[in-house]
């Protein structure tokens, strides 16, 4: 976009739709992000995350202060909210939307609190609405908050307690916000996308398969405080209502944004940001009604207690062993097909490829502007036509649909995520299909090429003859090599090749260890498993196998240590208790 000095109105990101009309609802976010990337690369992107996160939570803090939260206890609420928010703090349009959301809330709460005769600063929402409509499809949240505060203003007037700025002003602000939202390069089509998602897209298989769009669950939220917020906020709303009367704006906001968050993991960050200032105010009021020891009245003691509480609340999340986030600046490339793309470049593998949604962004970044390696589908499946979305979702659970997809969009290669989830059967289908050849495999990706056509020579030269990529094929290989030494020898050679072609090779090392154990060479398996663990500490059953090797070597203390490590990684197991 920046190179062409224009906002694209046609598809340039996927090969099946190349040149077709496109809607880019987040064009402004991309334009604002580009200087950060150009100035600092990856560090620049992290600077964007830091700045937007700081701005969003500074505004949440100011909103709480505007609502008379004057103590230090609100800091603990902000810590919990930040732990919940960080799930969605990747460099995405939501980071800019987070700032706009908290700015909207601050302007509206400021409007509720100001004295008569004060200028109505909430007209700034018109500018916020324009930026939001050009930056992210969540722009509707501004109108939700506007509607809530309009109802609150009407209710206050009926009670004989009119606000300094009445409901009529909010109504006109709402009309102005709606009007300026249409001032975007794509007009009504960009504004229609959230409605399209709610009415049509959300129930389709491709969207239901996206993890972050699934219903909110306990997994992944055990230690971040989300469920504490979900329980505490309505309880504090009721407590405040009994003590000082119902705050209608808060009650409606709590109801609306809780209902918004529960159906989808994606929306918990929005919930955390909106809940934070209200929870902070209510907790501060609740704390003020409690009786505390005399020594805690000193400012230093209060600050110390608040600091201890903030750290204590964060510790469980920081030390979660399965957390994908770690302190520092960087990207964990083991989650991306980095080595597979290097392999594609080294062997000139190009053409019309098949990929999964989650790898579309990396392919674009790695090979741009090479149109010979554009993704089949991007990280925005809504940009692909319904036919592609339907067939794409079907082929993983029903490989019989693969010929339909391959026939409609003939593929030269297929790049698949190595993580084969649940009922995914496409991997094993491609292993069994003589049309395709596996040429690369590591912990992150599998690369298949067509045996005929432009990549026939590549397939003939690089195809794996023995080691498959799919789960079923690997299980069958393990069962067969114990009684077939020739097969075991060929498998060992191919697995050793995988180890040389990618640093992300813990799976291949684990299979080599299985080969060594099956061949009666447990001592050879130990360094292979230790190396696998150095690459992927959660290598399945690695510590268990090391424990069995230690038992074979009559080293009981080491065996117990390995079994205990396996239990910490994988949880209790009957096999470990024997």
**Does pLDDT of 261 surpass 60?**
yes
Task: Kindly indicate the confidence band of residue 213, based on its pLDDT and cuts at 50, 70 and 90.
Answer: confident
What is d(CA 136, CA 97) in angstroms, rounded to the nearest whole number? Answer: 7
**Does pLDDT of 441 surpass 70?**
yes
Task: Classify burial at 160, counting beta carbons within 10 Å of its beta carbon; exposed 0-12, middle 13-18, buried 19 or more.
Answer: exposed
Report the mean per-residue pLDDT for the chain: 92
Q: What is the largest CA-CA distance in the chain?
A: 90
What is d(CA 98, CA 56) in angstroms, rounded to the nearest whole number? Answer: 6
Residue of 104, 72, 98 lying closest to 86 (CA atoms): 98
Considering Cα of 314, then 319, then 324, then 325, what sign does the dihedral take? positive
Lookup: tokens for 317: 């999340």
Residue of 51, 9, 16, 18 lying closest to 32 (CA atoms): 51
Highest mean pLDDT among 264-268, 409-413, 519-523: 409-413
**Does pLDDT of 3 surpass 60?**
no
Task: Kindly indicate the confidence band of residue 324, based on its pLDDT and cuts at 50, 70 and 90.
Answer: low
- Percent of the chain beyond pLDDT 90? 72
**Does pLDDT of 116 surpass 80?**
no
What is d(CA 321, CA 564) in angstroms, rounded to the nearest whole number? Answer: 15
DSSP E strands: which ranges in 246-330?
none
Question: Residue 456: CB partners within 8 Å, gap ≥ 6?
Answer: 450
What is d(CA 360, CA 379) in angstroms, rounded to the nearest whole number? Answer: 6
Task: Kindly indicate the confidence band of residue 71, based on its pLDDT and cuts at 50, 70 and 90.
Answer: confident
What is d(CA 274, CA 102) in angstroms, rounded to the nearest whole number? Answer: 7
What is d(CA 318, CA 83) in angstroms, rounded to the nearest whole number? Answer: 9
**Per-residue pLDDT tens over the stretch 15-40:** 999 999 999 999 999 999 999 999 99
Task: Kindly indicate the confidence band of residue 249, based on its pLDDT and cuts at 50, 70 and 90.
Answer: very high
Three-class secondary structure assignment of 201-252: HHHCHHHHCCHHHCCCCCCCCCCCCHHHHHHHHHHHHHHHHHHHCCCHHHHH
Edge-to-edge order in the sheet of strand 445-450 = 353-355, 413-417, 445-450, 436-441
Lookup: tokens for 38: 């150009």
Instruction: Determine contact, residues 443/505, Cβ cutoff 8 Å.
Output: yes
Instruction: Determine contact, residues 375/359, Cβ cutoff 8 Å.
Output: yes
- Find the mean pLDDT for residues 218-241: 92
DSSP E strands: which ranges in 418-500?
436-441, 445-450
Question: Residue 350: CB partners within 8 Å, gap ≥ 6?
Answer: 344, 370, 372, 373, 412
Task: Kindly indicate the confidence band of residue 576, based on its pLDDT and cuts at 50, 70 and 90.
Answer: low
| Residues 199, 205, 211, 213, Cα dihedral to 10° | 0
**DSSP β-ladder status, 445-450 and 436-441:** antiparallel
Compute CA distances 436 → 308, 340, 464, 470, whole Å.
59, 17, 11, 13
- The pLDDT score that the predictor gives to residue 420 is 85
Domains of the chain: 34-291+299-318 (no CATH), 333-463 (3.40.50), 474-577 (1.25.40.10)
- The pLDDT score that the predictor gives to residue 217 is 82
- The pLDDT score that the predictor gives to residue 168 is 84
What is d(CA 549, CA 516) in angstroms, rounded to the nearest whole number? Answer: 11
Of 325-329, 445-449, 559-563, minimum mean pLDDT range: 325-329
- Quick one: which H or E segment has residue 472? helix 471-481
CA angle 104, 236, 308 (to 5 degrees): 85
CA angle 50, 55, 59 (to 5 degrees): 150
Residue of 259, 224, 254 lying closest to 239 (CA atoms): 254
Lookup: tokens for 344: 């594609």
Cα–chain center distance at 36: 21
Say how many CA atoms lie within 13 Å of 149 toward its Cβ.
Answer: 27
Cα–chain center distance at 78: 21
What is d(CA 226, CA 79) in angstroms, rounded to the nearest whole number? Answer: 11
Of 40-44, 57-61, 298-302, minimum mean pLDDT range: 298-302
What is d(CA 238, CA 236) in angstroms, rounded to the nearest whole number? Answer: 5
Task: Give 4 or 455, the one with higher predicted confidence.
Answer: 455
Instruction: Determine contact, residues 77/284, Cβ cutoff 8 Å.
Output: no
Cα–chain center distance at 413: 27
Beta bridge partners of 450: 436
**Per-residue pLDDT tens over the stretch 340-353:** 999 999 999 999 99
**Per-residue pLDDT tens over the stretch 127-152:** 999 999 999 999 999 999 999 999 99
């Amino acid at each position: 976009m920046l190179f062409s000095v224009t906002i694209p109105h046609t598809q340039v990101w996927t090969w099946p739709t190349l040149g077709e009309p496109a809607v880019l609802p987040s064009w402004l976010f991309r334009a604002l992000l580009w200087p950060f990337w150009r100035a600092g690369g990856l560090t620049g992107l992290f600077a964007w995350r830091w700045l937007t996160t700081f701005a969003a939570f500074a505004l949440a803090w100011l909103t709480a202060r505007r609502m008379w939260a004057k103590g230090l206890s609100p800091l603990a609420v902000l810590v919990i909210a930040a732990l919940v928010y960080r799930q969605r703090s990747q460099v995405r349009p939501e980071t800019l939307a987070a700032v706009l959301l908290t700015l909207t809330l601050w302007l509206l709460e400021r409007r509720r609190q100001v004295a008569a005769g004060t200028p109505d600063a909430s007209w700034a929402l018109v500018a916020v609405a324009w930026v939001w409509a050009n930056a992210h499809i969540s722009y509707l949240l501004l109108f939700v908050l506007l509607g809530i505060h309009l109802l609150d203003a009407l209710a206050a007037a009926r009670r004989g307690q009119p606000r300094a700025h009445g409901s009529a002003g909010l109504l006109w602000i709402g009309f102005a916000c709606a009007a300026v939202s249409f001032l975007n390069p794509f007009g009504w089509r960009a504004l229609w996308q959230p409605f399209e998602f709610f009415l049509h897209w959300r129930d389709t298989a491709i969207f239901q398969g996206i993890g972050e769009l699934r219903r909110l669950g306990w997994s992944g939220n055990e230690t971040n405080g989300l469920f504490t917020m979900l329980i505490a906020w309505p309880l504090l709303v009721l407590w405040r209502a009994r003590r000082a009367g119902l705050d209608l704006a808060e009650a409606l906001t709590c109801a609306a944004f809780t209902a918004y968050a529960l159906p989808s993991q994606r929306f918990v960050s929005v919930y955390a940001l909106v809940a934070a200032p209200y929870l902070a105010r209510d907790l501060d009021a609740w704390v003020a009604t409690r009786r505390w020891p005399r020594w805690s009245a000193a400012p230093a003691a209060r600050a110390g207690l608040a600091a201890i509480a903030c750290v204590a609340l964060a510790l469980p999340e920081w030390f979660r062993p399965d957390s994908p986030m770690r302190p520092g600046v960087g990207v964990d490339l083991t989650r991306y097909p980095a080595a597979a793309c290097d392999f594609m470049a080294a062997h000139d593998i190009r053409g019309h490829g098949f990929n999964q949604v989650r790898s579309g962004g990396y392919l674009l970044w790695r090979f741009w502007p090479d149109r010979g390696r554009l993704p089949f589908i991007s990280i925005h499946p809504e940009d692909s036509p319904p036919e592609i979305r339907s067939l794409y979702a079907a082929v993983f659970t029903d490989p019989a649909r693969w010929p339909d997809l391959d026939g409609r969009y003939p593929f030269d290669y297929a790049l698949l995520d190595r993580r084969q989830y649940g009922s995914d059967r496409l991997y094993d289908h491609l292993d069994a299909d003589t049309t395709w050849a596996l040429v690369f495999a590591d912990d992150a990706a599998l690369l298949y090429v067509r045996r005929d056509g432009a990549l026939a020579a590549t397939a003939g030269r690089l195809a794996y003859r023995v080691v498959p990529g799919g789960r079923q094929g690997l299980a069958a290989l393990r069962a067969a090599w114990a009684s077939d030494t020739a097969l075991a020898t060929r498998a060992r050679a191919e697995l050793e090749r995988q180890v040389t072609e990618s640093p992300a090779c813990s799976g291949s090392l684990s299979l080599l260890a299985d080969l060594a154990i099956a061949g009666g060479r447990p001592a050879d398996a130990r360094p292979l498993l230790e190396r696998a663990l150095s690459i992927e500490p959660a290598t399945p059953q690695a510590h268990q196998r090391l424990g069995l090797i230690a038992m074979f070597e009559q080293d009981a203390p080491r065996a117990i240590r390995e079994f205990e490590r396996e239990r910490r990684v994988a949880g209790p197991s009957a096999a470990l208790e024997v």
